[in-house]
Structure 1
Amino acid sequence: MTLESDVSDLWHRYQDGLTADETTDNDDAVLEAFLEALEAGEVRAAEKTGDAVTSWAANEWVKRGILLNFGLRETKAREYGGVTYYDVLPLRETADLGERGTRNTPDGTAIRRGAYLGEDCIMMSPSFVNMGAYVGDGALVDSCDTVGSCAQIGADVKLGANTLIGGVLEPVEDAPVIIEDGVSLGAGCRVTSGFRVGENSIVGENTLLTPRIPVYDLVEEEILYGHLPAERRAFTRMVESSVGDHDLFEGGAYKPAVVATHVEEDTLEATRREDALRE
């Protein structure tokens, strides 16, 4: 039997009505082994299947395993930083992080069980990484950042302060938010609903990336939804809205859009200087 088959079997029993108080020691061992595999980076909620940023597919059985850890666990009182909280799982043990050169500063940094952090990562406080998230080597999760359940953060990614990376746990067949290698997100960005950001892109502060907002790619001269191609510089601009024809909108109405251009060399140089400071 493999971990995948064990999780799949447990999922079918859960769908048939299995409850938390009916699980066996073997069931609990499967749930624990699954969390350990997530934390070791041995399994992931999504994997890249091709070269394009659109070539990501969800691992449905992994997302089901995460759901099982919610559905087949009992909520209990737990302690963190001298505060009692109630959850189905304790926070992740962090002893292995120091061995890999990864830092998580105190006073509010929280990593939930089932989250993976690679080598040489930095988590500034307060920040939060949810179950099933994958944070690649050399990534920076800055103050007040949230990395949602199942989100996939690549190597050498920089998440600016107060950035939200949304989670996509259900439906299990949907790929979560993807931030590919080398991406830099400015402070206050929001990436939600399975949006995918291509490698080495630089996104300006306070930009909202979601499949409902169009991306005007000036490089290929096309309008995209749900993803930003690799090696783009993206920022928010306002475009005319169709509701502007309504009498209530005197002078017109506008809606947000994302504009994408080539990454300029001076922008890359500024990013390299920032990297040097961190090193």
Structure 2
Amino acid sequence: MPSYVNVGAYVGERTMVDTWATVGSCAQIGSDVHLSGGVGIGGVLEPPQAAPVIVENGAFIGSRCIVVEGAHIGERAVLGAGVTITGSSKVIDITGDSPVEYKGLVPAHSVVIPGSYTKEFPAGAYQVPCALIIGKRKASTDLKTSLNDALRENNVSV
């Protein structure tokens, strides 16, 4: 099934680009990354003059995630299905006693799911999407993504 890597994008060694995944112009994807089905990685043409998206080595980007506008995904981070991260998205670490907010950055080894927070507008309070860091990658997380290693070790193309 098709996937697409645009002009100027870099995709590192042993990275898997699954069905219907797209990698935009000038995006930088590290080695041993898995871009699951339907992932959209933005390029610098969307919007004009945007910073490139960076996905560091060993990251796992779940099905139907969107990573655009210069967002930065740290080494071995895991994005659960459907997470959307832009350069200005709130990424909130909720693992400690009080939340820690990042903008468009997922720190290394973070496990992230979609979430929302309440924001006040003149017309009232509404839920706005964000990404929630719910933990750090550990051995049990690696077991869930171990198929990737088996495919790489046996030189199976996907």
Aligned partners of 1:187 and 1:235: how far apart in 2?
12
Matched, 1:241 2:110: no
Matched, 1:156 2:32: yes
Structure 1 segments unaligned to the other structure (5+ residues): 1-124, 247-251
Aligned twin of 2:142: 268
- State the shift of 1:273 in Å: 3.7
Aligned 8 A contact 1:237 1:256 in 2: yes
Aligned twin of 1:216: 92
What is the percent sequence identity of the aligned residues? 36
Q: 1:224-272: per-residue Cα shift (whole Å, max 9, x none)?
A: 10211111001111211213962xxxxx521111111212321111112
* Structure 2 counterparts to residues 179-218 of structure 1, below 5 A: 179-218=55-94
Matched, 1:257 2:135: no
Aligned 8 A contact 1:244 1:254 in 2: no
Matched, 1:130 2:3: no
Query: Helix, strand or coil for the counterpart of 2:121?
Result: helix
Aligned 8 A contact 1:244 1:253 in 2: no
Aligned twin of 2:105: 227
Q: Which amino acid aligns with 1:184?
A: F
Aligned partners of 1:233 and 1:268: how far apart in 2?
11
Per chain length, whose mean CA-contact separation is higher, i.e. which structure has more relative contact order (CA < 8 Å, sep 6+)?
2
Aligned 8 A contact 2:34 2:148 in 1: no
**CA distance 1:269–1:175, shift in 2 (3 Å):** same
Aligned 8 A contact 1:165 1:177 in 2: yes
Aligned 8 A contact 1:136 1:154 in 2: yes
- State the shift of 1:219 in Å: 5.2
User: Larger radius of gyration, structure 1 or 2?
Assistant: 1
Aligned partners of 1:244 and 1:234: how far apart in 2?
30
Structure 2 segments unaligned to the other structure (5+ residues): none
Superposition CA RMSD, Å: 2.0
Aligned partners of 2:148 and 2:58: how far apart in 1?
13
Q: 1:23-66: per-residue Cα shift (whole Å, max 9, x none)?
A: xxxxxxxxxxxxxxxxxxxxxxxxxxxxxxxxxxxxxxxxxxxx
More strand by share: 2
More helix by share: 1
Alignment: residue pair count: 148
Aligned 8 A contact 1:135 1:153 in 2: yes
